[in-house]
Structure 1
């Protein structure tokens, strides 16, 4: 990848970073929308995560033989492996809380609550001295104001029920209304989903900081991504075997939308974490986080088209 190696001009390199992150965020929202639909067809979250991350690690496996052969890399010590294992555990927690939160609410809410990710990441980056704050600098003041506004915005989305912006209608050839939760439970489900998605935001922010640290001491994006996906597959599958011990049939995947969702998730994941590792190495953890709020626009459009979501100013 010559552009990633730093041979391109600065403006072209910035364009590559920007394009890569926009593609990543669009793909993630697309997977969330597809997952929301697949759950209505019987897809369980734990097989979904276990199988998709296992397949993602298999897709990344060949890259280990063609990348990171440089002798400048430090040895893969127990310390580095432990940190990657911790990153995998955090990743498992945020994908589990995130996708369960989507089951209770919607991809649109998930994208809206992503507003807290830049704020939390910025706070953690200050604590771990990855970012410096000076009240005399406009950039620092802008980051502080953005932090406050993003936290307020996330709270408004969860707790404020405002007017409807538009009411989506299903295409005549698909009836998505049958997948909507009963009106009597929608309010409590929305709050539960919001709480889980807030927890996800915390896990994501912590993982960004840890990922930045790992890439600073072991800058091997493909290898770190491979080990990470293996860890997430093991952790999510283990938790799933415990949670679903009385329901082994959930691990049987049929050749329908559930299989398509798993394969698509695996492909997106294998690219997603390589791009994240590469970006966080060169741009820092806050650069990853600032793209999260952009996903709400993508989620609103996809939710209206594919899930029959109506858009409110606040929650519904």
Structure 2
């Protein structure tokens, strides 16, 4: 009995430590991607190389662990769903996310995905994939948490897009003074819109993935498949848009680009695999509670490496978003199967957010 308790405690510590490491790696990845884009490398090019690298790393795990779970026959419906998930969840989501990071900051890029649980709840409720009883305390908390989360994201986006105007230098010995009116940086507003669009796409991709996993119950294999297809789709999109792959020219040689992006894709592939294993062991609610760590780490890394700063208003919006996230996750973890009217829900703490 004591040995079993020790093994369970060791596994819990390993999962917690691994999830903290994954979030720190995600923050480093966002900062590193921001640096690559300063070398005039197109976000689509980065998506192509990193997704292909992810496929090379994840596919052997898929063969070893999930080969017996592969469907014997792929229907046209399943093929179309996989293609839609590859285009939306890889090409659109990652390219929009990188463009948003390029125009704003890695901190914004790691903070915005915390909107996903609330948006998934709204989508699931709209599509009647999740049963909601407005008389239930937990349902009310989830609705309130979603509203707070969205309000925090909007506040953070607005405050992040405000730039102080150039100081007016007056004659004499007076110090420079700033006019009271603030200037909205249209570039940052555009970047925030890219990030919001990427999170909306990600939330819908989660919903679509839930349907696909019913016929293709192999999440690692599905991740490898959409990474490969997404890389090809992104390459086609960039060739149609720019008629060539923008590799940064003289700022970064092609071999170095391949090396950097392969390293990033390989690390992300391993992180995805560990993340999926942790979800299987402890459920998505516990795993999701670690997600704000990446935002905190990205603030520190961005300040140290890129010299980025974040204003008080953005911090307040970020706090609201994290508060709303934990409201949703708390209600998700506490709600029971019975809502009091005989209705039961499949969406508990031990199952995927949409299953």
Structure 1 277/232 Cα, relative in aligned 2: closer, same or farther at 3 Å? farther
Counterpart-to-counterpart distance in 1, 2:36 and 2:151: 32
Are residues 224 and 162 of structure 1, via their aligned partners in 2, closer, same or farther at CA, if it must alter by over 3 Å?
closer
Closer/same/farther in 2, CA of residues 200 and 291 from structure 1, 3 Å limit: farther
Residue 39 of structure 1: CA displacement? Answer: 1.9
List gaps (5 residues or longer) in structure 2: 1-5, 164-182, 316-355
Query: Secondary structure of 2:312's partner?
Result: strand
Larger radius of gyration: 2
Contact 1:121 1:206 (C-alpha < 8 Å) held by counterparts:
yes
Aligned equivalents of 1:235, 1:146: Cα separation in 2: 36
Matched, 1:310 2:325: no
Aligned match of 2:51: 53
Could you give the per-residue CA deviations for residues 170-214 of structure 1, whole angstroms, max 9, x where no partner exists? Answer: xxxxxxxxxxxxxxx981111010010000110111111222232
Further displaced range: 282-291 or 206-215: 282-291
Query: Is residue 109–residue 195 contact of structure 2 (8 Å, CA) maintained in 1?
Result: yes
Give 1:102's aligned residue: 101
Q: How does 1:94-133 map to 2 (within 5 A)?
A: 94-133=93-132
User: CA 1:33/1:113 → structure 2, altered by over 3 Å: closer, same or farther?
Assistant: same
Taking a change above 3 Å as real, the CA distance of residues 16 and 80 of structure 1, as seen in their structure-2 partners, is farther
1:215·1:281 contact (CA, 8 Å) conserved in 2? no
Task: State the match for 1:42 in structure 2.
Answer: 40
Distance, in Å, in 2 between the alignment partners of 1:145 and 1:22 is 27
Contact 2:161 2:184 in 1 (8 A): no
Q: Equivalent residues in 2 for 1:65-144 (5 A)? A: 65-70=63-68, 74-78=71-75, 79-91=77-89, 92-144=91-143
Report what 2:213 is aligned to: 215
CA distance in 2, matches of 1:84, 1:276: 21
Alpha-carbon distance in 2 for matches of 1:188, 1:131 = 38
Q: Kindly state the Cα deviation for residue 151 of structure 1 after the two structures are TM-superposed.
A: 0.4
Determine the C-alpha separation between the residues in 2 that align with 1:130 and 1:286: 18
Q: Can you give the 5+ residue segments of structure 1 that lack an aligned partner in the other structure?
A: 1-7, 165-184
Counterparts of 1:218 and 1:15, CA distance in 2: 31
CA separation of 1:18/1:203 partners in 2, compared to 1, >3 Å: closer, same or farther?
Answer: farther
Report the 3-state secondary structure (helix = DSSP H, G, I; strand = E; otherwise coil) of the residue aligned with 1:42. coil
Alignment: residue pair count: 289
User: Residue 172 of structure 1 aligns with which residue?
Assistant: none
Q: 2:55·2:269 contact (CA, 8 Å) conserved in 1?
A: yes
User: How has the CA–CA distance of structure 1 residues 161 and 247 changed in structure 2, closer, same or farther, with 3 Å as cutoff?
Assistant: closer
Deviation at 1:142, TM superposition (A): 2.3
Q: 2:236, 2:303 → 1: CA distance? A: 35
Instruction: Indicate the RMSD between aligned Cα atoms, in angstroms.
Output: 3.5
Against the structure 1 CA distance between its residues 227 and 306, is the aligned structure 2 distance closer, same or farther, given a 3 Å change threshold? same
- Distance across 2 between alignment mates of 1:257 and 1:138: 54
Change in Cα spacing, 1:13 to 1:227, as seen in structure 2 (3 Å) is same
Which fold has the larger relative contact order, with Cα–Cα distance below 8 Å and residues 6 or more apart in sequence?
A: 1
Aligned to 1:243: 241
| C-alpha distance in 2 between matches for 1:249 and 1:141 | 49
